[in-house]
Amino acid sequence: MLELVDVHTHYGLSHVLQGVSLKVGAGEVVGLFGRNGVGKTTLIKTMAGWVVPTAGDLRFQGRSTAGMAPDRICRMGMGLVPEDRRIFPGLSVEENLALGFMQCRGRSRDQERRKLESIYQRFPRLAERRRQLGTTLSGGEQQMLAIARVLAGEPRLLLIDEPTEGLAPMIVEEIFALMASLRDEGVPIVLVEQNVRRAVELVNRYYVIERGQVVLQGQAADPQGRAALFARIAV
């Protein structure tokens, strides 16, 4: 689905990503772990085209996306749920969801209606609040809306950045249950998450990032790999 080869990214003179290479296969959930400030969010934004790499190559479904505009990458089927959610506060829940339809152009009104109803079946809490403004939602509801809006565009690959940060434990469990259901449906996911012990139960493989480089990678099902992961990031 996605391959990065020796990707470098700068913010001015700051060399944030320093030769990152990784792969995401069809149907895989891949975790990006590491301490705060090591480049995880920059990495996921580089994948989505929000940040332009200064060297290296990114290939999505065999096509190079390095330097491609983020809206083109989005229409190719890569959906990003950003850390700050970016809910439009002056729009209702349903109006926010309708923006997700822009990722799949050419749908009929009837197709959009059926898609919207399927989203409400997956997110019944959003169905109850469909007429409410984004500003009136709780943090957990806003996170659900951010994920649902991307799913409205039927992405081929889902990028999710810190979906449980600052949320109550009950909502954290709901978000992980949602991601597990998407995994079980075969939706590939790249997940940045600080709750590593919880996330490692969800992912198939993981990469640990330090100072803009991949320093460890492994299979989540491998007990020795998990021990090395937990020792590396001290969780």
Q: Please compute the mean of the pLDDT values over residues 113-119 and round it to a whole number.
A: 88
Q: Enter the pTM of the model.
A: 0.91
pLDDT > 90 in the chain, percent = 73
Tens-place pLDDT, residues 60-85: 999 999 889 999 999 899 999 999 88
Residue 232 pLDDT greater than 80, yes or no: yes
pLDDT > 70 in the chain, percent = 97
Q: Quickly state the pLDDT bin for 105 (edges 50, 70, 90).
A: low
Tens-place pLDDT, residues 41-59: 999 999 999 999 999 999 9
Residue 207 pLDDT greater than 80, yes or no: yes
d(CA 101, CA 106): 9
| Segments making up each domain of the chain, as ranges | 2-233
d(CA 203, CA 201): 6
Q: Quickly state the pLDDT bin for 104 (edges 50, 70, 90).
A: low
pLDDT recorded at residue 106:
65
Q: Which CATH number fits domain 2-233: 3.40.50.300, 2.60.120.10, 3.30.1330.100, 3.40.50.10490?
A: 3.40.50.300
| Token pair belonging to 95 | 């109006």
Please, are residues 135 and 153 in contact by the beta-carbon 8 Å criterion? no
